[in-house]
């Protein structure tokens, strides 16, 4: 962890035994994952040692809205229109804390086995409700996948990561095809 608050970890989903205590809330340890969007810096040590100039980050004390939005994976079902695909429904909502401060909600993300497979538009706030992500490709080499989802509040504070395992019957692997297009000129 650097003086500015940058960090790197192999476990962003709350497993790292680190927390922040901010002067405005000295009796509350804040989980590392909520500061992911601004302060998580992959390969941090390598970048510091190579004297790479890192972009500026705002001081953590300036983040006044640390209220995490609510995110829940409601369902994952086989797609009715596409074989070997699934449709996922994720509920997300703004939360109001005991002091009356609202989290706001934007940038909802859905992952399949750790890979980003869907997200909402990044440029505008979201309304509370269910978000349906259709046609998510499922691997033909497995019988189950793990979906995870999280969102961010109006100041880019991450929600808790929610998880759901989804078991399915994989379809037959398609026979690979290769196409060759050859363009040339035959002249006299």
Long-range contacts, stretch 52-58, CB < 8 angstroms, 24+ apart: 54/6, 57/4, 57/5, 57/6
pTM: 0.78
pLDDT of residue 173: 62
Query: Do 119 and 147 share a domain, yes or no?
Result: yes
pLDDT of 14 strictly over 60 = no
pLDDT of residue 126: 94
Query: Do 96 and 165 share a domain, yes or no?
Result: yes
How far does CA 117 lie from the centroid of its chain? 9
Report if residue 182 sits inside a domain: no
pLDDT of 172 strictly over 90 = no
pLDDT band at 21 (very low <50, low <70, confident <90, very high): confident
Query: Do 35 and 88 share a domain, yes or no?
Result: no
Question: Judging by beta carbons within 10 Å of its beta carbon (0-12, 13-18, 19+), is residue 132 exposed, middle or buried?
Answer: exposed
Query: Do 58 and 119 share a domain, yes or no?
Result: no
Express as a percent the part of the chain with pLDDT over 90.
48
SS3 content of the chain, % helix, strand, coil (to 5): 10, 35, 55
Nearest-angstrom CA–CA distance, 81 and 78? 9
How far does CA 146 lie from the centroid of its chain? 13
CA triple 11-166-132, angle to 5 deg: 90
For strands 129-137 and 85-93, give the pairing. antiparallel
**Main-chain phi, psi angles of 43, to 5 degrees:** 55, 40
Query: Do 104 and 142 share a domain, yes or no?
Result: yes
CATH number of residue 98's parent domain: 2.60.40.10
pLDDT of residue 82: 86
Report if residue 102 sits inside a domain: yes
Domain extent for 124: 65-169
Query: Do 118 and 103 share a domain, yes or no?
Result: yes
- Provide the number of structural domains found in the chain: 2
pLDDT of 133 strictly over 90 = yes
Give the residue among 75, 67, 76 at the shortest CA–CA distance from 97: 67
Q: Give one word for 39, left, alpha or beta, with left for phi > 0 and alpha for psi -120 to 50.
A: alpha
Report if residue 183 sits inside a domain: no
Average pLDDT score, the chain: 88
| In contact, 31 and 14? CB cutoff 8 Å | yes
pLDDT of residue 26: 85
Could you give the C-alpha distances from 17 to 14, 39, 185, in angstroms and in order?
A: 8, 16, 65
pLDDT of 155 strictly over 60 = yes
- Residue that wins the pLDDT comparison between 124 and 109: 109
Query: Do 83 and 157 share a domain, yes or no?
Result: yes
Give the residue among 35, 37, 48 at the shortest CA–CA distance from 2: 48
Report if residue 98 sits inside a domain: yes
- Mean pLDDT confidence for 9-23: 71
Query: Do 22 and 112 share a domain, yes or no?
Result: no
Query: Do 30 and 75 share a domain, yes or no?
Result: no
Question: Judging by beta carbons within 10 Å of its beta carbon (0-12, 13-18, 19+), is residue 92 exposed, middle or buried?
Answer: buried
């Amino acid at each position: 962890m650097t003086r500015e608050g940058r960090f790197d970890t192999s476990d962003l989903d709350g497993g790292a035994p680190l927390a922040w205590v901010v002067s405005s809330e000295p009796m509350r340890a804040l989980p590392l994952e909520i500061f992911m969007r601004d302060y998580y810096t992959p390969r941090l040590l390598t970048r510091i040692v190579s004297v790479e100039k890192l972009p500026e980050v705002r001081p953590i004390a300036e983040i006044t809205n640390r209220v995490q939005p609510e995110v829940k994976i409601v369902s994952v079902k086989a797609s009715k229109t596409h074989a070997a695909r699934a449709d996922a429904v994720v509920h997300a909502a703004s939360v109001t804390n005991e002091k009356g401060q609202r989290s706001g909600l934007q940038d909802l993300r859905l992952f399949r086995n750790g890979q980003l497979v869907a997200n909402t538009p990044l440029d505008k706030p979201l309304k509370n409700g269910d978000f349906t992500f259709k046609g998510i490709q499922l691997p033909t080499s497995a019988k189950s996948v793990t979906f995870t989802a999280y969102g961010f509040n109006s100041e880019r504070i991450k929600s808790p990561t929610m998880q759901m395992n989804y078991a399915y019957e994989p379809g037959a692997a398609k026979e690979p095809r290769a196409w060759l297009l050859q363009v040339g000129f035959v002249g006299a």
